[in-house]
Structure 1
Amino acid sequence: MPILNFIYSLVLFLPLLAPTPIAALPASGPDPPAQARPPSGSVDHLNAYCQMSLWQHSPGKGASWTGWPLSRSPDPKAGFNFDANLNNQCVNLFELNPSGLAGELSSFIVTGWCECEFFARLECREGLFSAYNRRDDTLWERHNVDNRVQSYRCWYTQREQDFDWGTVTWQGVQPDSFKMVNGRKQVVWEKGPRWQDVIDKKRIGKCRSLPGRDDEEWQAISSVVVNGCTCNFYSEEGCQGDGLGSFGNAGSVIVKDSFSPLFFEQGIRSYMCFYPVGIPDTPRTDYDVAGNPGMPPSVAL
């Protein structure tokens, strides 16, 4: 009898020892690619690469992130290291900096070849505003967007469709425009000839020479005003030699001799202009050759 009871209990227990059916495994294949994230680093917001800076409070205050929203490398050299995986990709702010940036953004800068839209919710939902070549340190004055941004997305654009024309205005000085102040040669402004170059779409990226640069009667340049475009300046003809700086944006930038002595005598000999990049802190102030504001692009120089 005890043996029968043992056999009977073993029969009841056997189903529990039977193997459990295994669900069908998914087909083998590569792991899904990791979602790309923009590299961070130190930027100057003055060149054409897409660049962004975000601050919890005012610039340099609180949690922050600075980098290249559309670049694959934190050190872009010649050209724009565009990463297609980052184009139009949603990025949550807490992934860039988990310490107080998301939902507390009050200042930002976006410059270069991109436009960015900011959202009030994660995964780029509930759009707030978009920005192109824009700096805003006072989001706290607009309560409908301050401390609300949770995510953003950027896309590549040069905004060529917004560009119509820009100008580069040169101010020369006469020989008697110099005077000595505390043993240093200074310039008496606005006494020399003024001339202007209109940069339309056909002249974008084309090297330009200063007229009569090698003439004996050539005098120094006291200032250059760049309106509505960005220009690189060079020490030799054909946009060769030493680069003397890049100036200009969608607004107005005045470069005076006091900024660099290279604007005198042995200075600029050629320049090349591009679509505007950077932040237009000052509105355009285009002047014609007579010094009158509001020069139309059709004026013959």
Structure 2
Amino acid sequence: MQMLYFISLLIPLFTPTTALPSGPDPPVQARPPSGTVDHLNAYCQMSLYNDGHRSGESWSGWPLSYSIDDKDVFNYDAGLNNQCVNIFELNPRLTNAISSFVVTGWCECEFFGRLECQEPLFAAFNREDGSLWDRKSGYYNPDDTIESYRCWYTQREQDFDFCTVTWQGVDPWSFREVHQAKQVVWETGPRWQDVIERRDIGECRTLPDKDSEEWQAISSIVINGCTCNLYSEENCVGEGLGSFGNSGNVIVKDDFSPVFFEKGIKSYMCFFPVGIPTAVRTDFDIGGKPGMPPEVRMGWVRD
């Protein structure tokens, strides 16, 4: 069932690149604020279009409010939680004209075929649909029928069992002197997997023996089933190196950014997944328990 769940979410979108926000609630907003969104982080974000695949007349914004502060603050407005919003109040041209949408972040949104959230159609959580006209089932077709919606804060904890973060290091003998400079040859090296259960969510973590030579360089990180903030400082402090991962599979490679990997990753913190996955998880063994993903190069395993 878990694999079917992830397969059903296979719609391409970028991997998260900004830190997951956390902090106090914002002031109450009368209506959800509109603006340019990126669908890359934990803020509840929505985009509606009258054409397919993010095109045509549109509305984008934050159904549960947002932050205008320089700090990463998840602004959850209780006044907007579960509030019914009629589409014509966002953009009159979208009433009975929505053909595609994107909903991401720590929220779930339900869409309705009549005003004032009557006649439920469907709900969405970290999901994109670029062609509602293809969703016809019998007489039911949600294309050009949406008149209202409501969103509520959730991280869908009930869907989370575990996630894994798998690290691929570099063998000590892969370091060599080239023109009197220390270079790294990306060969088979140590690998280590961190299994993160529900009780571990939001906990600052680090690699074992992180100061040993074989972990001075990391060739890849494979994240399955969660979103993780990576830090170049101890104790998960500082601005961080960004957020990566979702409910599917994400591979962060050494060629993502040379500067990124040269800084070194000293700590990390993982959360319930956000964003839309582009690939199914690869860390399940035959029994559905954590397994080493095949993307990690075969080598010796660090216990």
Can you give the 5+ residue segments of structure 1 that lack an aligned partner in the other structure? 1-33, 294-299
Does the alignment pair 1:132 with 2:120? Answer: no
Per-residue CA deviations over 1:93-152 (Å, capped at 9, x if unaligned) read 1110112x1211111111111111011111111111000111111212123111111111
Contact 2:54–2:100 at 8 Å: present in 1 too?
no
* Stretch of structure 1 that moved more, 165-174 or 51-60: 51-60
Letter in 1 for 2:205: R
Does the alignment pair 1:93 with 2:55? Answer: no
Letter in 1 for 2:82: N
Alignment TM-score, normalising by the size of structure 2: 0.76
Letter in 1 for 2:114: R
- Percent identical residues: 65
Letter in 2 for 1:176: S
Per-residue CA deviations over 1:170-200 (Å, capped at 9, x if unaligned) read 111234389x9xxxx88646x1111100011
Does the alignment pair 1:122 with 2:119? Answer: no
* Pair 217,259 (structure 1): closer, same or farther in 2 beyond 3 Å: closer
Letter in 2 for 1:192: G
Corresponding position of 1:149: 146
* Pair 166,102 (structure 1): closer, same or farther in 2 beyond 3 Å: same
* Pair 169,216 (structure 1): closer, same or farther in 2 beyond 3 Å: closer
* Pair 247,205 (structure 1): closer, same or farther in 2 beyond 3 Å: same
Which of the numbers 188, 192, 206 marks the counterpart of 1:209? 206
| Aligned-partner Cα distance in 2 for 1:84–1:242 | 28
Does the alignment pair 1:54 with 2:52? Answer: no
| Aligned-partner Cα distance in 2 for 1:239–1:166 | 19
Can you give the 5+ residue segments of structure 2 that lack an aligned partner in the other structure? 1-27, 285-289, 296-301
Does the alignment pair 1:195 with 2:192? Answer: yes
Contact 1:220–1:263 at 8 Å: present in 2 too?
no
CA RMSD of aligned residues (A): 2.7
* SS, match of residue 213 in structure 2: coil
Corresponding position of 1:225: 222
Q: Which has the higher contact order (CA 8 A, sep 6+)?
A: 2
Contact 1:207–1:238 at 8 Å: present in 2 too?
yes
* Pair 171,127 (structure 1): closer, same or farther in 2 beyond 3 Å: same
* SS, match of residue 86 in structure 1: coil
Corresponding position of 1:255: 252
Which of the numbers 65, 70, 88 marks the counterpart of 2:64? 70
* SS, match of residue 278 in structure 2: coil
Corresponding position of 1:270: 267
Corresponding position of 1:280: 277
* Stretch of structure 1 that moved more, 77-86 or 195-204: 77-86
Corresponding position of 2:18: none
| Aligned-partner Cα distance in 2 for 1:45–1:273 | 18
Letter in 1 for 2:63: P
Per-residue CA deviations over 1:230-267 (Å, capped at 9, x if unaligned) read 10000011112441110011111111111122453541
Which entry has the higher C-alpha Rg, 1 or 2?
1
